[in-house]
C-alpha cells in the first residue's frame, strides 16, 4: 500500500465515510506490498550504497541495453560485471557519458554517482593471473566509496614477499585476498594481522585445481581465524562485503 | 634474535670489539626467528584478543590436559571447541576454577580473562537444530568481548518470522546467520539489511544436504551481496570473524 | 501489527488525538510482523493441514519432549519422523494417549486430530528394503487425510510385476514411487500412467549407489514426463506433496 | 496382438477350425506386444495430452526434420525444446504453417492441436536470467491446455517483492518456481502457500553454483514441505508435471 | 490371465455363451499379468539358474527368516550375501540342513539344489584383503554350476607374480579380477588374455581410494579391451555374470 | 632373449666354451624381454582377433596418418573410433581402398581383413540419441566377426516397446544395451533374459545426467544380475567384449 | 623355472641326452615364472630395503598373526601400519622380542634388522593433530635407514614459526611436510628450499576439509615446484619415498 | 632492511649519534623485508636452478611479452609452458635469438643459460597421447640440467613391453611415469625398481576418466611404495621435482 492509499483510508475515516472497523478491515487485508513504500525507500537508499550488480556473461546486447536504460530512467545506478569490450562499446554508443568503463576490472557502470571515499581496503593477490578478479573487487570498493591499496603477486611460494609487507596489513580496515591453485594465501595473511580478511578463490590453475574448487575448499578449511569466503571469482561480492564492513565502521553511507 | 643478542652485538661494536662490517654481517645472517620477539609481542597481544581454538574431537584426554596445562603455565588462554561433557569434567578436576564451561556451546576455556563487551553481534538460526553451532558462535563472541543477541528458529519456510524482526538486523554491527538444509537464510537476511553477514552452513539435514554441502554451496552462490561464508559448522570461526569486525569498528581491543 | 494496535491508531485519529499524517506515519513504520495476525491465522490453518515434521535423529530426549510439550500446550499437532522405539516410549510415558505410534513408518504424533480421508495415493516400492521409507510416506498421507494403496516390491528387474498392475496406477490421484539402487522405477511407472508421480530415491544399495545418489540422479534425469523428485529417503516430504495435490483436487482441507 | 488377430483365432475356434487348447496355445504364446493395441490406444490418448518432447541440442537438421516429418505423417504432434532460431527456420521452410514457434521459450511445435485451457499455473522466477527456462515451462503449460500467470524476478534478495504477491500464490492450481544460484525461492514460496510447488533449478550462476547443482541440492534439501523437484533447466518437465496435476484436478483431458 | 481363465473364455465362446466380439472384449482388456504364466514359467526356470540374491546387511533377523521361509515354502532357493555369522546361526536353528553356510564368502543358502559344474571361471585378486569379495564371487559361481580356480594376491606391484600365471588365464572361460586401491589388475590381465574379464572394484584402500571409487574409475577407464565392470564389492554380481557367460557357452542349464 | 641368443649360449655350452654354471648364470639373468618372442607371437594372433582401437579426437592429421601408415607397413589392422568426416577423407586420399569408412559409427579401418561372422549380438538403445554409440558397438562386432541385430529406441518410458521384443533377447549370444539419462534400460533387459548384458552408459541428457554419470551409476547399481558395464560412450569397448564372449562360445577365432 | 630345472636341461644337453634345438624349445616355452628366481632374488634384496607394509585396520588377529608368522618363517621382515595397541600386544605374546613397537607411529615390526642410518629426512607438520601420521613417516625412515629431524606444529597461520627454521630445510636430503585442513604448508616450505618436498595431506579438519580432500587438492595444485604428493594420511608411503631418494643419493643400500 | 640501512644505524651508533638502546629499538622494529637481501640472494640462486614457469593459456600476447621483457631486463630466465605456436612466433619476433622453442613440449624459454647435464631421468609414458606432457617433463629436465631417456607407449595393456625394459629403470636416478585413463603404469614401474618414481596423471581418456581424475586417484592409491604424484598434466612440475632429486644427488647446482 503506498502512502496515498493509506491516506485515503484515513481521510475517509476522519470524514465519517467509513467506520473504524471498516478501516481496520481495509488495512488488515493490505497485501504485504502495500507497505512497501517504506521498504522501497529503505531499499533505494540501500541501492545507492550498493547498486545491484548485473553479471553480463550470457546476456544479449538487447538485455544489457534494456537493463541500463531502465536504471537510467528511474534515476538509478547499475554495475555490470564481467563485461566484454564490445558490450561496453555498445553501451557507450547508446548512453554516452553516463557510462563509465573500467577495462582491467571488466566493469561498466551507468548513472553512477561519485561517492566520497572513506576507510581503506587492501587487495592482495597470490599471482598475476588473479588480477582481473582483484581489479573487479578493487574497482567495486572504489565505486562504492572506499580507498583501495593493491598488493599483487605475493603468493606463498615466495613467502618473503608477504612478510615484507606486514605493515600494510595492519593499516587497512579490511583485506581482500585472492588466490587460485591451492588458495593458501588468506590463511597466511590472516595469521599475520588482526583485520577482517575476505578470501576470494579464483579459477586460476588446472587439473586438480578444478576451476577454483581446490582454492575454495582450502580457504573454507583454513587454520587461521577471521576469514570470510565468497564465491569463486566473485570480485564484486568481495568488494561489496569489504565496503559494508568499512561503511559500518565509518558511519552512515 | 632476541633483544639481548642484538644488544650484545651492538655493545661489542661500541666497545670496538668488532667492526661495523662484522656487526653488519652478524645482523645480516640472523635467522628470521631472531626478530621474532617483535612478532611474538604482536602475537601475544593478538592471542589475547583471539586465543587459539583447539578442536577437541579426536584428541585424547592426555592431549587436552597437556594443551590446557601449557597454556596456563605461560599465562595464556585456550578455548576448546566441540568438547564433550566428560572431557570438561576431566579438565575441571585438574585445573578447577581456571576452567569455565559453556555446555550449550560445547566450549570450555582455561585461563580466560574477562573482556569488556563492545558492539553487538546478532546470531540468527534457521532451525532449532542449528542452535549448538549458533551457541558456539555466540559464546565465542561473548568470550572475545562482544555483546550478543540471539534470534533462533526463523527459517525461510515461514518468512514472516523473519520479516517481523527486520529492526533487529539494523541495530547489529555484524550478523551471523546459521542454516542447514538448503541454507537460504543468509540470502534473505542480507537482502534485508546493510550490515555484514557471516554465513555458517550447518550439517543439519540428510540425503541431498550432504552434511552441509548443499547449504555451503547455496551460501557461496547467494544472490545477495555482503555475505562472507565460513566452514560447515564452524561456529568459532564465525564468532571470531564477527568479533574482528566489531573490534575494528570500536577501536583497539 | 495486531488488529488491536491498528484499531488504537484509528481510534486516536477519529478522536482527534492525532492527525492523518501522524497516523499515516505510525502505520507506515509498522514492522512487518504487525500484519502477521493475518499471516498467522493463515498459517495456523495451514499447519492444521500439514503440521510441521520434526526430524528426530540427533535430537535429545529433552528436545523431543520439549517440542511435544509446546505443541500440546498451544493445542497444536506435531509429527516426529525417523523416531526410535525408545524415543516413542519416552513420549508415551510423558503424554500418554495424546501420542500415537506407527512403528513401520517410524512416525510418532502428538495432539493429532483425525482427518476424514479423501482421494487416493498409490505408494509403490521397487524392493522390500524401501518399505520403511514407503511407510513413512503412506502414513503421512493417511495422517493428513488421504486414502492409501500400497504396491510393494515391483522393481524393474521383473518388469511383469509392474505391467500386471497398470490398472491400479490409473485409479490413483497421485503415485509415490520409491526406489534405491538405480532408481529406475519412477521412469517406468510415469511411462505407463497419466497421473502425477512423486519419486523418492532411497539410500538402499551399496558401492556406486552412493547412499541414494545414483537413484536421485536417475530420477532427475528420467526420460519420462510428469515426475517430481524429493530428497533421498524423504518419505514425509513425498507424502506431504501427494496430500497437497490430492487436497487441491478435492477442495478445501 | 491387434484385435483383428485375436478375432481370427476366435473365429477359427467357433468355426471348429481349431480346438480350445490350440486356441489357448496361440493366445498364450502371444508376444506381449500383441496386447499392445490397448496400451497403444491408451498411449495415443496420452500422447495427445502430453506429446513427446524432443531435446534439440546435438541433433542435426536432418534428424530434426525426420522426426517432424514422421510425426506429421502419423497425424501426431511433436514439441521441440531448446531449439535454435535456424533450426526453426529450417522447419518452417519445410512444413510451413504446421510449425509454430515460441522464441522466448525456444520451443517449436509441429502438428499441434489447440487445447482449451483449464486451471491456472503460476510461473515464478528468482531472476531475469531464469526467464528462458521459465518460458519453456509456461509455454509447455499453455500448449498442453493450462492458463498461465507469470511472476518474474522476485528472488529472495528482495523478499518484499515476494511477500507482496502472496495472494497470487493461493489462486493457482500449481506453482512452478525457478531459481539458479542458491535456489532458495521454492522454499520461501512453499512456506507461504498450500499449493503444490514444482521447483526447477536453473544453471544460472557461476563458481560454486556449479551449473545448477547448488540450486538443485538446495531445493531437494528444502525445509518446506510440498515441493517436487525436476532436473536442472528442465522447463518442459516442470510444465508437463504442472499440467498433469491441473488436468487430474479438472477432469479428463 | 492364467491359462484357466483364458480357457474359460474360449469355452464360453464355443458353447455359444458369448459372441466373438464379447470374447474379444474380455481378452482385450486382460491386464498384462494375465499372460504372466508364460513369463512366470520362464522366470521360475531362470530363477532356478540364478536365484535372487538377498543383501543381508540392514535386514533384521525377522526379515531374513521370513524371506528364507517363503523361499522354502514355494520350493524355491535363496542366496543371502554379506551374512554375519549370527544371522547364519539363527537360520540354521530354524531351518537346519536346508541351510548351507560358506563363511569365507559370507554366503548362506536355503533350499539350494546342487548343480553339476561346467566350464571354468578363474578368480584373481590383487591382494589378500580382496579375498572376502573374491570368495563371494567364487562361491556364487560354484553354487550356480561352474568350476572355479583361484589365483589370489597377484597385484601389479609385483608384476612377475602375474606373468608367471599366464597359462591359467587362457584355460578359463571367464576371468573375474578383483582389486582395490588403484584397481589396475584387470587392465593388465585383459592385456594378457583373450578371455572375457569381469572387473570387480573393491573398497580396499584408504584416503584417495574413496572406498573403491579410484578402482572403479580405473577399471571403467581401462586401456585394455574386453572388460565388463560390476559395482564396488559386488562379488555376487560378478559371479552371476561369469556363470551366465559360461552357461551360454556350454548350453542349456 | 631371442632364440638366437639362447642358441648361442647352448652352443657355447656344448662346445665346451662355458660350464653349465656359467650357462646357467647367463640364462638366469636374462631380462624378461628375451622370452618375448613367444609372447609376441601370441600377441600378434590376439591382435588379429581384436585390433587396437585408436581414439581419434585430439589427434592431429599427421598422427592419424602415421598410425595408419605404420599399421599397413607391418601388415596389421587399425580401427579408428570417433573419427570426423574430414579425418576419414584425409586417410582415403592417402591410402585409398585400404581404408573403409562407417559414417554412422564414426569408425574408419585400415588394412582390415574380412572375418566370417559367427553368433549374434543384439544391440539395444533407449533413445535415438544413443544411436551413434550403438553403431560404434554394432560395427565393431561386425568388423570383429559377429552378426548383429539392432533394436533401437525402446526406452523404459514406453515399456511396451520392450516387452514386445522379448523373444529377440533370448536368441542373442550377448546383448549390448545403451542408455543415457537415467540409464534404466539394462536393468529391465537383464530382468527379462538369461543372456549376458553389456551396459553402455551414454552421455545423452543434461543437468543431473552429468554427461553420463547418472546412467553409469544406475547401471553399476542395477538390481538385476548379469550385467557388465563399460565406460561412458564406449561403444568400441562394448563391441569388443561382446565379440570376445561370442568367440569364446563358438571356438577359435 | 628355478635354477635346478634349467640346470637339468643344460645337463641333459651336455650329456647328449637332447639336442640344442630340443633344449632351446624347452627353455623357450618356460612360463614366465620359471625365471622368477632371479626376480625373486632381486625382490628379496629390495624387500630388505623396503619391506612390505601391512595396513592393519580391518584385519583380524588371526590374519595379522599369520602374516607375521610367515614373514618370520622365511627370515623376512614385516612392517604393520596403523596397528592398535591390542594387536601389538597379541603379536608380542606370540613372537616376543622379534616384535618391536612404536606407539606414537602406530607401527609394529617383526624380524626387522637394524640398518645403519644415512642422510637426513626432515619431517614437518602444520599442527599437533598431524603428529601420528608424521611419526608413521619418521619411524618408517628410521627403520629403513635414514636419520630424521622433526619440526612439528609450524603451520602457516603463524608463518614466523616457519621462517625461523629456514636453515633446517637446507640441511636435509628430503623434506616430508604434513598438513590437514587447507594443506598450505608444503607450498610455503617448497618455496623456501631447494630440497625435494614430499607432501602428505592428512585427514585433520572437518566440514569442507572433507577428510583430507581439501589438503590433497591444495597440495596437487601448489604454486611451488618440487613437490610430490602421496595419499591422504599415507605416512608410510612418504617415509618410503623419502628413504628411496636418500638411498639413491648415498649409494647402495 | 637493506644492508645500507643497517650500516647507517651501526655507523650512527659508533659515532655516538645514538645509544645502544636507540639502535636496538630501530633494529627491533625493522619490518621483515629489511632482511630480504639475504633471502633474495638465496632466491636468485634458486631461480637460476629452477626458473619460474609461466603457464601460458589464458594469458594475452601483451602479458606474455611483458613477462619475457621483464625477465630479460633483469638478466633472468623464464620458461613458458603450454605455449601455442603463435605465441612463440610473437616472442621470437620481439626477442629474436634470446627465445628458444621446443614445439613437442610446447615450451618456450627466454634468456635461458645452458646448464651442464648431470644424472639421468627416465621418462615413461603409457600411450602416445601422453607424449606432449612427457615432452614437457623431459625438456624441463634437460633445460634444468639433467640427461633424459625416453621410453614411450609401454602401457599396462601389453605388459611385456614394460618387463622387457626393466634394466633401463635401474640405471636412472629418477623415473617420471605418465599415464592417463586408469593410470596404472606408475604402480607397475614402482613395483619393478628401487628408484624414486614421479607419477603424472594425464587428462587422456574420456567418460569415467574424468579428464585425469581416474588416473590421479589411481596413482595416489597405488599399492606400490616410492611414488610421488604431481598435478594432472603437470609435466613441468614432474621435471622440476626430478631435477631437484638428481641435483641433490650429484651436488651443488
Q: Is the pLDDT of residue B171 over 50?
A: yes
Give chain A positions within 8 Å (CB) of C7: 20-21, 24
More reliable by pLDDT, F215 or H44: F215
pLDDT at D114: 85
Contact H221 E190 (CB under 8 A): no
Q: Which residues of C touch D226 (CB under 8 A)?
A: 50, 240-241, 244
pLDDT (mean) for B100-104: 95
The ranges of chain G with pLDDT < 70 are: 1-6, 24-49, 252-253
Residue D53 in grid coordinates: 518432447
List, in order, residues 6 or more apart from E134 with CB less than 8 Å away.
E123, E124, E125, E150, E152, E176, E178, E200, E235
pLDDT in tens, H72-86: 887 778 899 999 999
Q: Does A237 touch chain B (CB under 8 A)?
A: yes
Q: Which chains touch A (3 or more CB pairs under 8 A)?
A: B, C, D, G, H
For B137, the grid coordinates are 558462535
Our CA-based measurement puts residue F28 at a distance from the nearest CA of chain G, in whole angstroms, of 6
Q: Is F208 on the interface with C (CB under 8 A)?
A: yes
Nearest-CB residue to B196 (from A221, A229, A244): A244
Neighbours of chain E (3+ CB pairs under 8 A): C, D, F, G, H
Q: Compute the Cα dihedral for E240, E243, E248, E252 and give only its sign.
A: negative
The mean pLDDT of chain A is: 83
E151 within 8 A of E138, measured Cβ to Cβ: no
Provide mean pLDDT across the span C46-51.
56
CA D210 vs. chain centroid, Å, equals 25
Select the residue of A32, A49, A194 nearest B49 (Cβ to Cβ).
A194
The confidence score (pLDDT) of residue E139 equals 97
- Predicted local confidence at residue A62, as pLDDT: 87
Nearest to residue E190, comparing CAs of F111, D193, F50, B59?
F50
Q: Which of H7, H23, H29 sits opposite B10 (nearest CB)?
A: H23
Whole-number percent of chain E with pLDDT over 90: 48
Using CB atoms within 10 A of its CB, is residue H15 exposed (0-12), middle (13-18) or buried (19+)? exposed
> Does residue A5 have a pLDDT over 90?
no
Among residues of chain A, what percentage have pLDDT more than 70? 85
> Which residues of B are less than 8 Å from A247 in CB distance?
194
Please answer yes or no on whether E188 and H220 come within 8 Å at the CB atom: no
Paired residues of D79 in beta bridges: D53, D109
Report CA D238 to chain centroid distance, whole Å: 6
Q: What is the mean pLDDT of residues A195-212?
A: 93
DSSP conformational letter for D190: H
List, edge to edge, every strand of the sheet that includes H99-102. H53-55, H78-81, H107-110, H99-102
pLDDT for the residue C37:
31
Q: What single-letter DSSP state applies at residue H59? A: -
pLDDT (0 to 100) of residue A88 = 93
pTM of whole model > 0.90? Answer: no
The per-residue pLDDT for C34 is 32
Q: How confident is the model over H168-181, as pLDDT tens digits?
A: 888 899 999 999 99
pLDDT digit of tens for each residue in chain E (253 aa)? 344 556 777 788 788 888 877 776 566 444 333 333 333 333 434 434 577 788 898 888 888 998 899 888 877 788 999 999 999 999 999 999 999 999 999 999 998 888 889 899 999 999 888 999 999 999 999 999 999 999 998 888 777 777 777 778 888 999 999 999 989 999 989 988 889 999 999 999 989 889 999 999 999 999 888 999 999 999 999 999 999 999 988 875 4
Q: What is the DSSP string of chain A?
A: --HHHHHHHHHHHHTTSS-HHHHHHHHHT--GGGGHHHHHHHHHHHHHHSPPEEE-TT--HHHHHHHHHHHHHTT--EEEES--HHHHHHHHHHHGGGEEEEGGGTEEEESPPP---EEEEEEEESSGGGHHHHHHHHHHHHHHTEEEEEE-S--GGGTHHHHTTHHHHHT-SEEEEEE-TT--HHHHHHHH-SS-EEEEE-----GGGGGGHHHHHHHHT-SSSSEEE--TT-HHHHHHHHHHHHHHHH---
Neighbours of C216 (CB within 10 A): 30
Whether D131 and D104 have beta carbons less than 8 Å apart is answered as yes
Which pLDDT band, with edges at 50, 70 and 90, does B79 fall under?
A: very high
- In the prediction, which pLDDT does F115 show? 86
pLDDT on residue A48: 41
D191 and D163 Cβ atoms separated by less than 8 Å: no
Contact F10 G14 (CB under 8 A): no
Mean pLDDT of chain B, nearest integer: 83
> Over the stretch E39-51, which tens digit does the pLDDT of each residue have?
333 343 443 457 7
Q: Is C233 on the interface with B (CB under 8 A)?
A: yes
Q: Is F4 on the interface with G (CB under 8 A)?
A: no
Dist. CA E5–CA H6, nearest whole Å: 108
Question: What residues 27-86 of chain A have any CB closer than 8 A to a CB of chain G?
Answer: none
CA angle A171, A173, A177 (to 5 degrees): 90
pLDDT in tens, D160-174: 777 777 778 888 999
Is A194 within 8 Å of chain G by CB?
no
Is the CB of G164 inside 8 Å of chain B's CB atoms? yes
Could you report the per-residue pLDDT of F213-248, keeping only the tens digit for each?
A: 999 999 999 988 899 999 999 999 999 999 999 998
What's the pLDDT at B166?
Answer: 74
Say how many C-beta atoms besides its own lie within 10 A of residue C67's C-beta.
18
Q: How confident is the model at residue H138 (pLDDT cuts 50, 70, 90)?
A: very high
E160's grid cell: 612377475
Window from A156-165, F111-120, G12-21, G68-77 with minimum mean pLDDT = A156-165
Distance CA F67, CA F55 (A): 11
**Is F touching H (3+ C-beta pairs, cut-off 8 A)?**
yes
CA angle D161, D163, D167 (to 5 degrees): 115
Residue B141 — very low, low, confident or very high, per pLDDT cuts 50/70/90? very high
Taking the Cβ of residue A157 and every Cβ of chain G, the question of whether any pair is shorter than 8 Å is answered with: yes
Chain A positions touching H41 (Cβ under 8 A) are none
Mean pLDDT of the residues in chain H: 83
Alpha-helix runs per DSSP H in A15-113:
20-28, 36-49, 61-73, 85-95
Strands B197-201 and B53-55, by their bridges, are unpaired
pLDDT tens digits along B153-164: 888 877 777 777
Pairwise pLDDT comparison (G250 vs F21), residue with the higher score: G250
Task: Kindly list the distances between the CA atom of residue F98 and the CA atoms of F73, F101, F111, F138, in Å, as whole numbers in the listed order.
Answer: 12, 10, 5, 21
ipTM value? 0.82
Q: In chain A, whose CA is at the least distance from the CA of H37?
A: A160
Instruction: Give first-to-last CA distance, chain H, whole Å.
Output: 29
Residue A144 is predicted with a pLDDT of 92
Cα–Cα distance, D123 to D202 (Å, whole number): 14
User: Which residues make Cβ contacts (< 8 Å) with residue G227, sequence separation at least 6?
Assistant: G186, G187, G190, G197, G198, G199, G219, H228, H230, H237, H241
Alpha helices per DSSP H over H29-165 = 36-49, 61-73, 85-95, 131-144, 160-163
A87, three cell numbers: 558490450
> Which residue in the set A128, A158, A207 is minimally distant from H231, CB to CB?
A207
Determine how many CB atoms are found less than 10 A away from the CB of residue A48.
14
SS (H, E, C) C17-51: CCCHHHHHHHHHCCCHHHHHHHHHHHHHHHHHHCC
- Rounded CA-CA distance H93/G40 in Å is 58
pLDDT per position as a tens digit, F185-214: 999 899 888 899 999 999 999 898 999 999
Pairing status of strand F107-110 against strand F146-151? unpaired
SS3 A2: coil
Q: Encode chain D (253 residues) as per-residue pLDDT tens digits.
A: 344 556 777 788 888 888 877 776 566 444 333 333 333 333 434 444 677 788 898 888 988 998 899 888 877 788 999 999 999 999 999 999 999 999 999 999 998 888 889 899 999 999 888 999 999 999 999 999 999 999 998 888 777 777 777 778 888 999 999 999 989 999 989 988 889 999 999 999 989 899 999 999 999 999 888 999 999 999 999 999 999 999 988 875 4
Confidence at residue C67, expressed as pLDDT on a 0 to 100 scale:
87
pLDDT at B24: 64
Q: Residues with Cβ < 8 Å from H103, sequence gap 6 or more?
A: H85, H88
pLDDT one-digit tens code per residue, B43-71: 434 444 577 788 898 888 888 998 899 88
Q: Which chain A residue shows the shortest CA-CA distance from B171?
A: A248
- Residue-wise pLDDT for D46-70, tens only, equals 444 677 788 898 888 988 998 899 8
Q: At what angle do helices D213-220 and D185-192 cross, to 10 degrees?
A: 30
Our CA-based measurement puts residue A194 at a distance from the nearest CA of chain B, in whole angstroms, of 7
C-alpha cell at E196: 572375457
G37–F28 CB contact, under 8 Å: yes
> How would DSSP label each residue in G213-239?
HHHHHHHHT-SSSSEEE--TT-HHHHH
Residues in chain H, total: 253
The reported pLDDT for the residue numbered D4 is 55
pLDDT value at position B26? 62
Amino acid at each position: 500500500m503506498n502512502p496515498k492509499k493509506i491516506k485515503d483510508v484515513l481521510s475517509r475515516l476522519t470524514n465519517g465515510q467509513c467506520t473504524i472497523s471498516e478501516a481496520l478491515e481495509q488495512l488488515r487485508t493490505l497485501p504485504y506490498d502495500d507497505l512497501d513504500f517504506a521498504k522501497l525507500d529503505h531499499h533505494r537508499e540501500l541501492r545507492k550504497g550498493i547498486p545491484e550488480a548485473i553479471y553480463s556473461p550470457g546476456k544479449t546486447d538487447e538485455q544489457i541495453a534494456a537493463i541500463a536504460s531502465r536504471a537510467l530512467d528511474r534515476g538509478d545506478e547499475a554495475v555490470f560485471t564481467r563485461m566484454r569490450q564490445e558490450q561496453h562499446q555498445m553501451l557507450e554508443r547508446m548512453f554516452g557519458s553516463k557510462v563509465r568503463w573500467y577495462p582491467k576490472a571488466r566493469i561498466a557502470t551507468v548513472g553512477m554517482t561519485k561517492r566520497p571515499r572513506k576507510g581503506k581496503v587492501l587487495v592482495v593477490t597470490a599471482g598475476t593471473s588473479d588480477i582481473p578478479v582483484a581489479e573487479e573487487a578493487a574497482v567495486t570498493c572504489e565505486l562504492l566509496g572506499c580507498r583501495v591499496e593493491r598488493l599483487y603477486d605475493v603468493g606463498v611460494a615466495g613467502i618473503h614477499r608477504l612478510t615484507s609487507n606486514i605493515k600494510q596489513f595492519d593499516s587497512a580496515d579490511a583485506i581482500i585476498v585472492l588466490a587460485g591453485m591451492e588458495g593458501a594465501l588468506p590463511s597466511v595473511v590472516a595469521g599475520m594481522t588482526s583485520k577482517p580478511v575476505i578470501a576470494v578463490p579464483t579459477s586460476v590453475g588446472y587439473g586438480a585445481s578444478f576451476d577454483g574448487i581446490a582454492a575454495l575448499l582450502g580457504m573454507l578449511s583454513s587454520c587461521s581465524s577471521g576469514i570470510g569466503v565468497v564465491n569463486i571469482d566473485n570480485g564484486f561480492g568481495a568488494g561489496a562485503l569489504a565496503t559494508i564492513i568499512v561503511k559500518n565502521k565509518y558511519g552512515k553511507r
